[in-house]
Amino acid sequence: MHDSDPFPNISLRSFFGFSPEEDGYIGWTKEANRKHVMDKVAPGDLMMIYGAGSGSTSSSDVLKVLGFLQIDPTPIRDIDKSSVRGLERKHQNGWADKWTYALPVRRAWRVTQAVRLDRVASETYQPEKGRAIAAWSPQISANDKERALGLRVTEVSVFGEPPLVGGLVDQPLRNAFRSSVDSELGSIRFEASFARFQSLIAAFDQPFTGFDEGLIAAWESYKPRVREVALTRLGADSWTQDHVGSGGIVAKVIDAIEIQATHGDLTNNMVFWQNRFGHANREHRALIEAAATGTGLKTIEELLFQLYRTGRDEGEIFDELSEATGAKYPLMAYLFFLKDMDRFMPIQPTGFDRVFAEIGLGFRTLRSCNWENYNQFNGILDALRDPIAKQAKLAYVRLIDAHSLMWLFATLLRKEAKGDLAKGEKADARYLGAREKSIAEIKYSVGKTVFNSNGQVVPTTVKNKELHLSDTELDKLIRDILKIQEDRCAITGLPLQFRGTQTDDNMLPSLDRIDSNGHYALGNLQIVCRFINFWKQASDDGDFRRLVGVLRAQQSDNILPL
């Protein structure tokens, strides 16, 4: 692949047939012809194979596009990657001395639709130059390449390569390289990369143990919840074709981007939309300008409508919408993340390019806002799920989990490069994990309650709602209670949720005085769900538990739902 174009170049070549399952190479009869091709191709480039116009080609294949081969510009002999059957066929047809100067084929796709070569490579193919094409394998033009990417293909096995597992089935060629990352990842040692990640996170906070606690929960768990807010604001299910061009669709999309929390951490930082550094630097500026001036509004709204409300090819929508909105990769990735969180992830190119380089991948996303690149980006994250699960000893890793871990890795690499970790910087209260954030929140709440009741922190009882514990003692007690209660509400037994990963604020932990007339002291504290503390207030603990028991008994008798 080439830095300027994330999708490989495609050259043209004629064959008598297409059988990569038996012949894992592409050959030339003259060594000079092979050298000519080697000098102009890069590893991973493609050859578009069509049926040669001769009697040795099946009549149904003549001048038809047969398939694509991904080649490696490493010189070999034909016998190095040919099956016994393939060699026998050459001998039977008198071709033993032909196409012996070869290059290995790594992957192959057979075209699943009948299409003539002149309909695809109309600019590159010239009938009178058939022999020259066979010898020199010219690179097809940009327009021909675009048409080739739209051909539907199915991946097939290549002789001499590892057995094909899965593979692309009857999809446009432009999707083919989404699954190519498996081979790229197979060449890296993720075990070493994960150990490096653990060393960085341990220097800053605590080692990674899972996605629902620690630093990764504190920093990364907000994304699905931001998405829920965005989808509510977007309201795409109510859009109709009549809305296109009205400005209403763009207004809803802007609203789904500009999510700013008044409290907590539900702020959208997946797109740089704030006006802190001037309007020109806002990644959704094209939407704002279209809404304000009407310029390009109908085009943008039509594409947004197609994205969320139709089954039009996603790749075509991505590239057209990218062009219409200024090729802002974070914006495009966010819009697709809203469409389908199981397939599409947000992106910040600089950070991900940093971490991909760290783990040994040459893949780059910077200044590559196009469908092929975005497909491969998501494919890499998808392929990392199993290695992450294996190294972290986790049963299951979602696509968004892989995204979160790699982004945290990238952030820690940046801190290391800046020298922050060498200076001994540690995670402060802002960076604590979900459980730690809840403990800090409980301690703050106790201090606020004591202060508002005109109490004070004292070693002996003198006033109502007093705190009889030092900060260290209170911290230890909260942790001990959570451990004893096994992270469940002391009164209801319901599982507690922790700040930053909660789905219901009522299930957050709250420190409760068993005797409401007593103080915040050892032996008088338990942890309950927030809503239980609100309901209980100054009630007698025993009587409140009795009432909860009555409700539970009625529920078990199917008298009252609880």
Contact between residue 469 and residue 501 where contact means Cβ atoms under 8 Å apart: no
CATH class of this structure's domain 10-176:
alpha beta
- Provide mean pLDDT across the span 33-58: 83
DSSP three-state, residue 279 = helix
CATH class of this structure's domain 433-556:
alpha beta
Q: Is residue 139 classed exposed, middle or buried when 0-12, 13-18 and 19+ CB atoms within 10 A define those classes?
A: middle
Look-up: residue for tokens 């998405």?
227
Percent of the chain scoring above 90 in pLDDT: 39
Give the pLDDT confidence score for residue 55 in this predicted structure. 65
Give the pLDDT confidence score for residue 383 in this predicted structure. 87
- Provide mean pLDDT across the span 274-288: 92
- Of residues 1 and 415, more confidence is placed in 415
Q: How confident is the model at residue 454 (pLDDT cuts 50, 70, 90)?
A: low
Q: What does the pLDDT look like over 120-135, one tens digit per residue?
A: 888 888 776 666 676 6
Q: How confident is the model at residue 114 (pLDDT cuts 50, 70, 90)?
A: confident
CA angle 331, 333, 334 (to 5 degrees): 65
Segment (H or E) for 11: strand 10-15
Q: Please state the pTM of the whole predicted model.
A: 0.54
Closest CA to 69 of 115, 33, 37, 35: 37
Q: Is residue 500 classed exposed, middle or buried when 0-12, 13-18 and 19+ CB atoms within 10 A define those classes?
A: buried
Tell me: pLDDT of 252 over 70.
yes
- Provide mean pLDDT across the span 552-557: 61
Closest CA to 506 of 540, 470, 468, 534: 534
- The amino acid sitting at 494 is L
- The CA-to-CA distance between both ends of the chain, in Å, stands at 60
Tell me: pLDDT of 436 over 70.
yes
The residue extents of the domains of the chain are 10-176, 190-418, 433-556
Tell me the two tokens of residue 539: 């009630």
Return d(Cα 470, Cα 464) in angstroms, integer: 17
What single string gives the DSSP state of each residue in 154-184?
Answer: EEE--TTSPPP-S---SEEGGGGGGSTHHHH
DSSP three-state, residue 101 = strand
- Provide mean pLDDT across the span 344-350: 96
Tell me the two tokens of residue 353: 């390019």
Look-up: residue for tokens 């006006």?
275
Give the pLDDT confidence score for residue 466 in this predicted structure. 80
